[in-house]
Amino acid sequence: MRALASWTWKVLGLVLLLGGSGARAFNDADALKVVGFARTQLRKSASAMPNETRSPKASRADGTWTTVANTDEVAWTQGFFPGGLWQLYQVGLEPSWQSKADRWTRPLEVQKTNRKTHDLGFKMFLSFGNAYRLTGDAYYRNVLLTSAESLAARYNTRIGIIDCCDWNSAWDVPLVTDTMMNLELLLWASANGGRAELRTMAVNHALTTLRDAVRPDGSSFHYVDYNAATGAIRSKGTFQGYSTNSTWARGHAWLIHGYTMVYRYTGDSRMLAAARKVTDWYLSRVPTDMVPKWDFDAPGTQKDSSAAAIVASALLELSQLETDAARKTRYRDAALRTLDTLVSPAYFAQGTNSPGLLLHGVGHLPANQEVDVSLIYGDYYFLEAVLRFNPNPPYPWYSKLSFFESQHRLGSGNTGVRTIEFDVTPLASRQDGTIGYTDSATSVTDYASLNMTVRMNLEGYFDVRNAGAYASLTRVPYVNGRTYHVRILADLPARRYSVWVRPPGGSEVQIANRFVFRTGAPPIDDLGRASVRTLIADSDFRVLNHQVRAGVTASVSDESTEALSDAEESFGCGATPGRATSSGVLTVLGVMVLLQRSLSTRRRR
């Protein structure tokens, strides 16, 4: 116990030394809540869509989404829904989320030759870009490269910008701040097999935007229109804002996020300076709750949660890229304060009839379109911000009736002798649930696909599959609501495994000793997939802290396991089965926070 406490305090001291600062309200518990709710909402939204030809945009009062056709060449929001689905696949590498994401990504391929809009980045990079990042599939990459060339076709060499659009006859060659976000498609393509000129186009556009759309004090116009023949400025204004000289909040958020992104790709100090300039102005004007009015200069009190979400995500990245220590801390603190407000009941849609994640977004107030609603793009950047805060907080896996949905990818590197450890909590008194494993090349379609299986059986105790039947050396009963630590020693070359279970507060008990892999199961060269399956009801048990390590690993002490279990309860993982699902290996910081909270609680008892 003393050794564990000493280790915890050392890690705590290191974390405080490296990144400690005042604002740390948003935490892993909040991240769990957001991701869990996102899984519920996006699953419902996918089911509510008539098919994959349309994507959600804004919420209606009746709790449904307005939708946009994926073939619409001028609309700009179609990439956010598949992008959000890919983000949820990122969380736990569950094939079911990959399947959903791919279903809404592929219909957008028709947009790859669309030369009518500057918004191909929003459409294609958030869908196909996330897809390629997470799968490495060359199909997605090729679509992106074609899309980048289509966007590049709108580059005006005289002015040095991506011409935003053709639909407004009052404009000649317009620039809008939104385009800063679409530059990522060009920058990525240039670094992944596309022309080097694509990067030059992006940098030129960013510099022209800085010169002409960003005011000396760091505030911004939404658009700048140029004369096609001479390149001279015809007009400036805020098309979706309050007045010509006002600062539209979401347009300014695009600048903060956009310059941060361009700096990430280029390392150009001018981009860092631009990001600082527009960010510092924003932070000097945003209210104390960190959610701006829809336009900083507009009368009234109407806020825009989508602008806040975009900025929160940008600030988390900017705080990582920033070279000045004081700014690094200030930007991260501002991001966390923003997320803390967005996850509060004032903005978080949980408990309402909204199909989205965030309330009180504003699309186009001057046109009276999408005012005080949930917006699919606000939700996307909110989820992006949460995953930037911590890509791997202790997201739990929940049991599924479907074999396909029960799967979690573990990768192909877990070969030889491996130790698996996890905590399992039955959330219903009656269980018929299994945690099983197979090769990365095997898709789990039935129990015969699983080489190794640990079960909570209908008789009320743990047992293990041994060749052709289940058996247990010693019966360890399970109790609803209690957390049990399971350790598996898997010898893949020998096709045998041993299993230990430790009840809460008790000692580890061996229930299987070199049991034989399932008879008739497919060949196995690695521990590449896990299945969390139930025969009774979705989410009737959960798995937390799943880890796979090389070689023989002794089980952690009773004290530390109980600490993790207590901390899991403090995170509210079992409050509502099905609210938060998926997996992730605990980060060092996550482990430290969990253990420290538990030890503090233990001292108070």
Among all residues, which ones are annotated catalytic? 119, 178
Token pair listed for 593: 């926070």
CB 247 within 8 A of CB 241: yes
CA pseudo-torsion sign 299, 305, 309, 310: negative
Length of the chain as a residue count = 605
Residue 470: closest CA among 419, 515, 418, 537:
515
Round to the nearest angstrom and report the end-to-end CA distance of the chain: 15
CA distance 490 to 494: 9
Q: Measure CA 533 to chain center.
A: 24
With tokens 């004290």, the residue in question is 559
- Cβ count near 3 (within 10 Å): 10
Angle between helices 179-191 and 249-266 (to 10 degrees): 20
Residue 596: closest CA among 130, 8, 7, 42:
8
Helix (H) or strand (E) holding 12: helix 2-19
CA distance 84 to 271: 27
Helix (H) or strand (E) holding 143: helix 138-152
Beta bridge partners of 358: 348
Helix (H, G, I), strand (E, B) or coil at 435: strand
Token pair listed for 590: 């996550």
- Cβ count near 584 (within 10 Å): 23
Long-range CB contacts (within 8 A, 24+) of 167-174? 167/74, 170/225, 171/223, 171/225, 171/234, 172/225, 172/226, 172/227, 172/228, 172/234, 173/225, 173/226, 173/227, 173/228, 174/223, 174/224, 174/225, 174/226
What secondary structure letter does DSSP report for 165?
B
Residues 6 or more apart in contact with residue 233 via CB below 8 angstroms = 212, 224, 225, 226, 227
CA distance 472 to 450: 18
CA angle 229, 230, 232 (to 5 degrees): 125
Where does 185-252 show beta strands of DSSP type E?
A: 223-226, 233-237
Residues 6 or more apart in contact with residue 375 via CB below 8 angstroms = 57, 58, 59, 305, 306, 356, 358, 361, 363
